[in-house]
Amino acid sequence: MKDLKHMIYFEKLLENTNNELIEQARSEGKLALGYTCFSMIEVLLNIDKCFSVRLRAPNTGSMDIATYYMSNYTCEFCRAILERCFEGGMNFMDAFCAVDACAMMNRCAENIELLDLVPNEKFFVTHADIPYKVEDFTVRHYAVQMRKRVLNELRDVYGVDTSDEALRDALNRHNELCAIMTEIGDLRKLDNPPITGYEFHVLNLITYCCPQYLIIDKLRETLEEIKNRKPDPKPWYKARVVVVGSEIDDLDLIRLIEETGAFVVADRFCFGSIPGREVIEIDEESDEDLLTQICRHYLEVSECPRFMSSEKVEQRRITVDRLAREYNADGVIYEQIKFCDFWGFERALASHIQAEEYGHPVLSIDRPYSAKSSGQLRTRMQAFVESLEIKKIQKAKEARK
């Protein structure tokens, strides 16, 4: 297939956390709000003169200083973020918006705050409590937390307009972005799609890590380019896989998977588009205000394993099965960053259930934060893809009998 016009530019933007578009937005008087979790509502971080930056630590090397403060038994993603703060790589932030969803990220955020690692004059760290169940009272609690811990803080510290009009404008811009990404993502359902999983991963990361108003035009252009793109006559992949698990903000991991012949058709992982890039529907006739309806959406669609209620556990299993069938996947890859407690429990049980109860071939792995140099991981991926390819060949032979 012909290369996408903006792909090299997008990849370059993802080489560093503080990219040129973040610098441009800040030079225009915008406020950079860092966050790390789906539960910190992205829409709110793009209100008025603010823009959201989902934090990453590309090209992470030694994490010795962060390990000293957090121990070597904590998630490498959290330690990588803290290490990058020590290095000065997060100094662009005007605020860090954290949620009490993960104990390890809480420790990371506390160290950033207590050690005064971001020298901006008005910089602050805010923590919001996130419910563990979806009930009317928990939705209301979520909305109160977002109002007090995020919107009011931005208003009081930086004079941000947090009115319903400003919130609706942020929501409309968010929905436009999500509509574009959903349309691009749906093309992966085709037998011979005009986009690879790696390319989609790059585009999706851009929407999380760059000021959205500076990339929306290029995304619209890229959507039209992909829709008119002519794929190669024969599909390039050997097998189609759904990837499920913890943070994947590493371009090299998806590249590694696809280099072994697997096409990543659905990204049900942190930093993925499922959930996160679906349009948020608002009921204008509802008694709930706009903020509460947005909070309800985030609670209902969240697939995070921190939710341990039986209905959420079942929801996650059904979602993976649905995606595997909807995207015509040959198998499922469950992955987690080492020492991630929530995904550790989820991966161990859910991967077994998907194989035994739903009949999907499953590869289950734990991995370092930066996986590009893992020869063992590549070998396991290759073996899994070969097993899926053999199953397809055997199935085709049986169908001809």
> What is the rounded distance in angstroms from the CA atom of residue 264 to the CA atom of residue 315?
22
In-domain check, residue 179: no
Q: What average pLDDT does this structure show over 234-253?
A: 95
The domain boundary residue, chosen from 138, 154, 170: 154
Point out the least confidently predicted range of 51-60, 78-87, 152-161, 372-381.
Answer: 372-381
Mean pLDDT, residues 95-116 taken together = 95
Are 277 and 149 found together in one domain?
A: no
Q: Are 109 and 254 found together in one domain?
A: no
Which residue carries 């429990």 as its tokens?
345
Does the pLDDT at position 392 exceed 90? no
In a domain, 31, yes or no: yes
Q: Residue 244, SS3?
A: strand
Q: Looking at the structure, do residues 150 and 275 belong to the same domain, yes or no? A: no
How far is C-alpha 361 from the geometric centre of its chain's CA atoms?
A: 24
Is 379 part of a structural domain of the chain? yes
Q: At a CB cut-off of 8 Å and minimum separation 6, what does 339 contact?
A: 73, 74, 75, 76, 104
Q: 295 and 146 in contact (C-beta within 8 Å)?
A: yes
* CATH number of the domain to which 95 belongs: 3.40.50.11890
In a domain? residue 160: no
* Residue 371 pLDDT greater than 80, yes or no: no
Using the predicted structure, report yes or no on whether residue 372 has a pLDDT greater than 80. Answer: no
Task: Say which residue, 78 or 401, is predicted with more confidence.
Answer: 78
Residue with tokens 């959406």: 297
Both 253 and 371 in a single domain?
yes
Q: What is the pLDDT of residue 395?
A: 81
Report d(CA 136, CA 156) in Å as an integer: 28
- Identify the CA nearest to 267 among candidates 208, 341, 355: 208
- The residue among 301, 387, 377, 276 whose CA lies nearest residue 335 is 377
Of 9, 18, 88, whose CA–CA distance to 53 is shortest? 18
3-state SS assignment for residue 31: strand
243 plus 370 within the same structural domain: yes
Helices (H) and strands (E) in the chain, counts: 15, 8
Q: Are residues 139 and 240 in the same domain?
A: no
Task: With cut-offs at 50, 70 and 90, classify the pLDDT of residue 373.
Answer: low
Smallest CA-to-CA distance from 142 within 133, 152, 129 is with 129
Phi, psi of 363, rounded to the nearest 5 degrees: -110, 130
Q: Same domain for 133 and 254? A: no
Residues 146 and 255 placed together within one structural domain of the fold: no
Residue 376 is predicted with a pLDDT of: 87
How high is the mean pLDDT of the chain?
Answer: 95
Please name the residue ranges forming H helices in 48-90.
Answer: 64-70, 76-86
User: How far apart are the C-alpha atoms of 260 and 71, rounded to whole Å?
Assistant: 34
Same domain as 357, residue 245: yes
Alpha-carbon span 274 to 323, nearest angstrom: 9
Q: Answer with the one of 154, 177, 199 that is the final residue of a domain.
A: 154
Dig out the tokens for 359 from the structure. Answer: 């009949």
Number of domains in the chain: 2
Q: Evaluate whether residue 116 is within a structural domain.
A: yes
Work out the angle at residue 302's Cα, subtended by the Cα atoms of residues 300 and 303, and round it to the nearest 5 degrees: 125
75, part of any domain: yes
**Residue 393's CATH number:** 3.40.50.11900
332: Cα separation from own chain's centroid: 18
The answer for residues whose C-beta is within 8 angstroms of residue 189's C-beta and 6 or more apart is 265, 326, 327, 328
The answer on 249 and 150 residing in a single domain is: no
174 in any annotated domain: no
| 6-to-13, 214, 215 alpha-carbon distances in Å | 11, 13, 11
Is the distance from CB of 202 to CB of 219 less than 8 angstroms? no
User: Domain limits at 133?
Assistant: 25-154
- Residue 394 inside a domain? The answer is yes
Same domain, 254 and 375: yes
Q: Quick one: tokens of 311?
A: 């209905």
The last residue of one of the domains, among 102, 126, 154, is 154
pLDDT band at 78 (very low <50, low <70, confident <90, very high): very high
Of 129, 65, 132, 127, nearest in space to 342 by CA: 132
Distances (CA, A) of 269 to 172, 293, 296, 343: 25, 24, 20, 10
Higher-pLDDT residue of 101 and 248 is: 248
Same-domain status, 138 and 30:
yes
Look up tokens 């198998």; give the residue. 331
